[in-house]
Amino acid sequence: MKKTTIFLTLSLVFFSLIPIGFSENVVNNYGFETGDLSNWTVIGYGTATVTSEKSYSGSYSLWMGNDLVYISQNISRNISYVEFYYYKNQTDTNFVGIPTIFLRNQTGDICKITYNGTLNTWKRVYFNLETGENESITTSDCPIGSEIYVHEIRIGFDGYNQTEGGFFDNIMAYSREITKCDDVLLEGRHTLISDVSGSDSVCINIPVSNVILDCNTYTITGNGSNTGIRIGAAPTNITVEDCHLRNFYKGVLFFNDREIEVLSNVTIKNSDIRANYTIYSNAQITSGYVFNNTLNGSIFVNTTPAYHDITFERNYYTNPDGTGYSDTCTDSDCDKICDTPYSVYDSVTDDYTLSFYTYPSGFIVTFNYSSINFGSVNPYQTYEVDGVFACGYSNSSFEVYVNGTNFSTEWTIDNLNLTMYYTGYSKTKTLSTSRTLFDTFVQGLFKHFHKFLVYVPLVSPGTYTATVTIDYLLV
């Protein structure tokens, strides 16, 4: 019972300190903990001084006053939420300044957020541009309902010539755009807009539900011993997509810190994960879905919990040596799916395990047949066998040559035609005993269906055999 009480108390403090839901504070030196105005530019006639006289958190805050004065910082980001802490000097009874945040594009103000409270104590002032939620503010020209692009954030006193001032601390603007390791604390889509690297034990932490983390194919790089993305504390409906994870011990971690928690509807898709453990699950999880990823490293799923339901489908399983299952599996029909599914964990298989034809290189050809049998045939008739093929990949143009031996003296090989066809292409050649060029083909994946058509002359009953040689070679 005592332990539970402590936990809840800590949780409340935790959430009160972080504006709920946004990925990243994009304001540098937001709390002036450098002890100076690094990253800020002072505009106006008054005074802006970093001081340790008061602070909401940390050691410093900013005092501004004496006259019209602002501080400014270029952020050039999409912003969803702004906040700052303000302390009105209690001794300044005549002070009528109005602390204001100006969100500006490159031509001027696009949104003005003004604090209209009067308390002489630290006051958190915030405005959620997506929902309109706020605390003690009035706004002017601020669009509500979506994030807005902000080139410059400016904060100060609006329009008054003063002799006194107030303290500012923790001036923050939050974006759903991610550029560094951070917590994702609100539902909705969060997008990487640059590569991210970090040595945090967890780089991107997702402890809440209904989140889409879109890495937009940017790369998140770790230090070799940390975790790239952690999904835990029982959220549901989480999607992680288009992420490139590098140099992590655990790429994506499904995590519960209490046994009663169950993750559900968690999807990892279209991502390229290189880690000791690409997917590491220690969680109770239902409806997990790992789809269409390249997984370069091991996979661990703890099957001890009652629920460990993770479906793996259409993933490429490899390792740093390039000798992983997908790299070496047999794909006899070149359809990019291994002939035999990869056994991921326990009895779970990836029934559409991607093969090396997903990332083909060089020149490789697979023939799916080595004999053609026309069966019983009658003289003066033609017979055909099709459905056999050669498939593969070439990184440059290649040629196909054919030749064959006679069935017998009376039944020569020129009674046999070979047709190659695939979408948009068909060509037929009569075989001969001399090696002749069938055709030249362009680079890329290919699948040539071969059809053999034979004419049977009047020959004695019996079984006849010819040998046809089909050569694929680079030009």
Q: For residue 445, what are the β-bridge partners?
A: 393
Query: What Å distances lie between residue 414 and 186, 380, 411, 447, CA to CA?
Result: 73, 14, 8, 25
Report the residue number, 117 or 360, with the smaller CB distance to other proteins: 360
Residue 145 sits in the site that holds other proteins (CB under 8 A): no
Q: Is the dihedral of CA 372, 378, 382, 386 positive or negative?
A: negative
Report the residue number, 126 or 393, with the smaller CB distance to other proteins: 393
Residue 262 sits in the site that holds other proteins (CB under 8 A): no
Residue 334 sits in the site that holds other proteins (CB under 8 A): no
d(CA 85, CA 244): 37
Report the residue number, 102 or 441, with the smaller CB distance to other proteins: 441
The distance of closest approach from Cβ of residue 469 to other proteins in the complex, given in angstroms and rounded to an integer, is: 5
Q: Which of 113, 184, 301, 466 binds other proteins (CB under 8 A)?
A: 466
Beta strands, E only, 52-130: 61-65, 69-79, 81-88, 99-105, 108-115, 123-128
Q: Which of 374, 419, 447, 449 binds other proteins (CB under 8 A)?
A: 374
The distance of closest approach from Cβ of residue 335 to other proteins in the complex, given in angstroms and rounded to an integer, is: 18
Gyration radius of the chain over CA positions: 34
Report the residue number, 45 or 380, with the smaller CB distance to other proteins: 380
Dump the DSSP string for 293-356.
Answer: -EEEEEEEE---SS-EEEEEES-EEE-TTS-SHHHH---TT-SSB-SS-EEEETTEEETT-B-G
The distance of closest approach from Cβ of residue 204 to other proteins in the complex, given in angstroms and rounded to an integer, is: 44
The distance of closest approach from Cβ of residue 339 to other proteins in the complex, given in angstroms and rounded to an integer, is: 19
Q: Which of 373, 409, 423, 434 binds other proteins (CB under 8 A)?
A: 373
Report the residue number, 17 or 473, with the smaller CB distance to other proteins: 473
d(CA 344, CA 231): 20
Residue 473 sits in the site that holds other proteins (CB under 8 A): yes
Residue 407 sits in the site that holds other proteins (CB under 8 A): yes
The distance of closest approach from Cβ of residue 422 to other proteins in the complex, given in angstroms and rounded to an integer, is: 17
**x/- track of binding to other proteins for residues 426-455 (CB under 8 A):** --------------------------x-x-
Report the residue number, 327 or 471, with the smaller CB distance to other proteins: 471
Stretch that binds other proteins, among 31-39, 133-141, 319-327, 457-465 (CB under 8 A): 457-465
Task: Quote the tokens at residue 31.
Answer: 């709390």
Residue 79 sits in the site that holds other proteins (CB under 8 A): no
User: Which residues are CB-neighbours of 243 under 8 A, at least 6 positions away?
Assistant: 192, 213, 215, 218, 220, 228, 229, 271, 272, 273
Query: What Å distances lie between residue 409 and 249, 265, 405, CA to CA?
Result: 69, 69, 10
d(CA 316, CA 324): 9
d(CA 237, CA 234): 10
Report the residue number, 351 or 414, with the smaller CB distance to other proteins: 414
Report the residue number, 193 or 456, with the smaller CB distance to other proteins: 456
Q: Which of 69, 416, 420, 441 binds other proteins (CB under 8 A)?
A: 416
The CA angle 411-417-421, to the nearest 5 degrees, is 160
Report the residue number, 93 or 378, with the smaller CB distance to other proteins: 378
Q: Which of 145, 159, 375, 387 binds other proteins (CB under 8 A)?
A: 375
The distance of closest approach from Cβ of residue 386 to other proteins in the complex, given in angstroms and rounded to an integer, is: 13
CB atoms within 10 A of CB 69: 19
Q: Is the dihedral of CA 71, 75, 76, 80 positive or negative?
A: negative
Report the residue number, 291 or 363, with the smaller CB distance to other proteins: 363
Report the residue number, 307 or 452, with the smaller CB distance to other proteins: 452
Q: Which of 334, 467, 468, 332 is nearest to 401 (CA)?
A: 468
Residue 376 sits in the site that holds other proteins (CB under 8 A): yes
Report the residue number, 164 or 471, with the smaller CB distance to other proteins: 471
Residue 193 sits in the site that holds other proteins (CB under 8 A): no
The distance of closest approach from Cβ of residue 441 to other proteins in the complex, given in angstroms and rounded to an integer, is: 13
What are φ and ψ of residue 102, in 5° steps?
-110, 125
- Asked if residues 280 and 250 have their Cβ atoms less than 8 Å apart, the reply is yes
**x/- track of binding to other proteins for residues 343-372 (CB under 8 A):** -------------------xxxx-x-xxxx
DSSP 218: -
Q: Which of 42, 193, 233, 456 binds other proteins (CB under 8 A)?
A: 456
What are φ and ψ of residue 20, in 5° steps?
-65, 120
d(CA 186, CA 212): 10
The distance of closest approach from Cβ of residue 362 to other proteins in the complex, given in angstroms and rounded to an integer, is: 8
Binding site for other proteins (CB under 8 A): 362-365, 367, 369-380, 383, 390, 392, 404, 407, 416, 452, 454, 456, 458-474
